[in-house]
Amino acid sequence: LSLAFLTIASSIGVTSAVAFDTTQRFVIAQAAEKASGEGVIKGVDASERKLLIAHGPIPALKWPSMTMAFGVAPNIDFAALPPGVKVKFTLSRDAKGLYVVEQIHRAE
């Protein structure tokens, strides 16, 4: 039943659904969300693996322009990302459901 519910929910565009598994624990299913954006790096915290990015609107997430701190995937090299650099980036959700920078490169 849970699998059928989740299949139906994902087919109609539900990005988050709650169902029960056979042990009656709550199971939260989230659609794999990825979104792309462009912005300017405002700050770098390499020890915490975070970037402060002033980004334009991100329509896929219905976000307006704003400045946000994002966690960064382990494969990203901070050396090429000093403050002031214009970037294009891709966000994805981590295990906690937070958006993290999965890919990033300088915008030209």
The full 3-state SS of 17-72, as one line of letters, equals: EEEECCCCCEEEEECCCEEEEEEEEEEEECCCCEEEEEECCEHHHCECCEEEEEEE
Give the sign of the dihedral formed by CA 3, CA 93, CA 73, CA 35: positive
Residue 102 or residue 33, greater confidence: 102
Section 103-107 average pLDDT: 95
Q: What is the pLDDT of residue 16?
A: 43
Q: Give per-residue pLDDT as tens, 5-41.
A: 444 444 444 444 444 444 444 434 444 479 999 999 9
Q: Give per-residue pLDDT as tens, 59-97.
A: 999 999 999 999 999 999 988 899 999 999 999 998 888
Name the pTM for this structure.
0.69
